[in-house]
Amino acid sequence: MALILSTSFIVFKMESEKRELQDELIELSKVKYGMFSVDEWEEILSTIITKRINDFDLEDTNQEKLKEKISDFLQIAIDELEVAYNEEEGFLKRTGATVFGVFGHMEKKIPEITESIVEFMNDPENRERIKEYLLKKMSEYSEETFAEINYTAYDLILAKHQVQTKQQAIGILKNKIATIEHEREPFTIALFTIITLLFVLVAFSADLKKTEFTILTIICGVLLLVGVLLPMINIDARVSEMNFQLLGEEISFNDQVLYFKSKSILEVVMLMLSQSKIDVLVVGFLVLLFSVLFPVSKLTTSLFYLYRKKARESKVAKFLVFKTAKWSMADVMVVAIFMAFIGFSGIVSEQLRDLESIALNVEIFTTNASSLQIGFFLFTSFAVLSTLVSYKLQYSFNDDKKISGAPD
């Protein structure tokens, strides 16, 4: 018993540490800090604008094409200006403009103006001013258009791990989680090996003593406790990779979490009982009843039944210990309903596939990383083992000689 108690405690402790780190990793990987973040896009566009302006180079062939386009643009602008002037101004002004050849003189100046524009664009100082202007306007537009993101949790995680960037924090968190999983693996294997041996021992034992029943009941209680405290399932939908071209530059986002939930039975119960809707409260109470209160009462009554004669004569105790044997898997049924309720793995996968299919000119690779967690397997182990113990207890107590020596 000491071995399974210590192993369960170690597994619980390591899993709790891993969960805390996983919550931090999920927080940093949320889409609101990535491809849905205006700050992230500002940084991307700023980098592209800066690179494009710094790389701007007017070679001879490019200069001629640029001069041609500028000249055409100036010619069109002057023609439109002349038309608008003649339509809006009075007779004397129109006549004066025609006599003095104002617009004709402007047309003659087109080559000179074109050269001035090209020289302006070639000046590094002017490029810097253009870059600053564009970045300023982009920043102003984003501040006026998009809601500000709350970085409180984000900043706390970076400060906790003493890093400056999200990428550094993610790298540290992944390494720590991998280390915990590696260290926990032998204890997890040992725990489930012991549980399997207990299944075999109880199933094939012809007779069990009171001390053995007591130990098995305590072990069932430990499995129940750990099973309801640890997460049972992770619902994890994310964009594993998204690639596309923007202004000739390759843009990529990786591991963007769209949705993540990880809940234990007790956490689900607390969440449901905190709601104001009657139907949710009823479901929460049923989960609490069949998954916590009913198993605890059955285990407690079994111990009293072993050592108290009055308990063995009690109809309530007999009902809880023996008559409810056929109900002993009701807790598993409730958990199965709970799993079906929140484990919408198929729906998540279908929605992610739809996301991939509607993307145009963008490579999107999504993944449904939902998975059963150790809490599910420990709780199921408790349900199966407690059922076997109940049957063996009922069989053993059919013979009064087997319970001799029990206190009154």
Last residue of some domain: 128, 145, 162?
Answer: 145
**15 versus 31: which is more confidently predicted?**
15
Same domain, 111 and 192: no
If one counts the domains in the chain, the total is 2
| 3-class DSSP assignment, residue 316 | helix
**Does 180 reside within a domain?**
no
Same domain, 213 and 313: yes
Residues belonging to the chain: 408
Same domain, 382 and 294: yes
**Does 154 reside within a domain?**
no
* pLDDT digit string, tens, across residues 177-228: 999 999 999 999 999 999 999 999 888 887 788 888 889 989 999 999 999 9
- Residue 255's region, left for phi above 0, alpha for psi from -120 to 50, else beta, is left
**Does 195 reside within a domain?**
yes
At which residue do the structure tokens 């605890």 appear?
296
Q: Which pLDDT does position 193 carry in this prediction?
A: 93
**Does 239 reside within a domain?**
yes
CA distances from 41 to 28, 36, 38, 241, 383 (A): 16, 8, 5, 17, 51
Last residue of some domain: 114, 145, 176?
Answer: 145
Whether 351 has a pLDDT exceeding 90, the answer reads no
How many other C-beta atoms are found inside a 10 Å radius of the C-beta of residue 28? Answer: 19
Closest CA to 230 of 61, 386, 379, 336: 379
**Does 92 reside within a domain?**
yes
**362 versus 38: which is more confidently predicted?**
38
- Mean pLDDT across the chain: 78
pLDDT category of residue 137 using cuts at 50, 70 and 90: confident
Same domain, 119 and 205: no
**Does 172 reside within a domain?**
no
Same domain, 315 and 398: yes
Judge whether 348 and 235 are in contact, CB under 8 Å. Answer: yes
Same domain, 233 and 115: no
Same domain, 338 and 220: yes
Same domain, 114 and 196: no
- Give dist(CA 131, CA 50) in Å, integer: 6
Same domain, 240 and 382: yes
Boundaries of domain holding 137: 48-145
Whether 160 has a pLDDT exceeding 90, the answer reads yes
Region 288-307 average pLDDT? 84
Region 120-139 average pLDDT? 75
Same domain, 266 and 347: yes
The listed range with the strongest mean pLDDT (87-101, 207-221, 358-372) is 207-221
At which residue do the structure tokens 């709601």 appear?
275
Same domain, 128 and 203: no
Whether 403 has a pLDDT exceeding 50, the answer reads no
Q: Which pLDDT does position 405 carry in this prediction?
A: 43
Region 30-40 average pLDDT? 82
Amino acid letter, residue 195? I
Same domain, 205 and 137: no
**Does 116 reside within a domain?**
yes
| Contacts with 241 (C-beta within 8 Å, 6 or more apart), sequence order | 252, 253, 254, 363, 364, 365
Last residue of some domain: 117, 145, 173?
Answer: 145
**Does 237 reside within a domain?**
yes
* pLDDT digit string, tens, across residues 41-74: 778 878 877 777 766 665 555 677 777 887 888 7
- Give dist(CA 306, CA 302) in Å, integer: 6
Query: Which contacts qualify for 390-394: CB closer than 8 Å, 24 or more apart?
Result: 390/298, 390/302, 390/321, 390/322, 390/325, 390/328, 391/325, 392/202, 392/205, 392/208, 392/213, 393/208, 393/213, 393/302, 393/305, 393/306, 393/321, 393/322, 394/321, 394/322, 394/325
pLDDT category of residue 241 using cuts at 50, 70 and 90: confident
- Give dist(CA 245, CA 133) in Å, integer: 24
Q: Which pLDDT does position 100 carry in this prediction?
A: 61
Q: Which pLDDT does position 174 carry in this prediction?
A: 94
At which residue do the structure tokens 């807790």 appear?
331
Where would I find the beta strands (DSSP E) of 165-281? 233-246, 249-263
Closest CA to 271 of 281, 259, 279: 281
Q: Which pLDDT does position 20 carry in this prediction?
A: 94
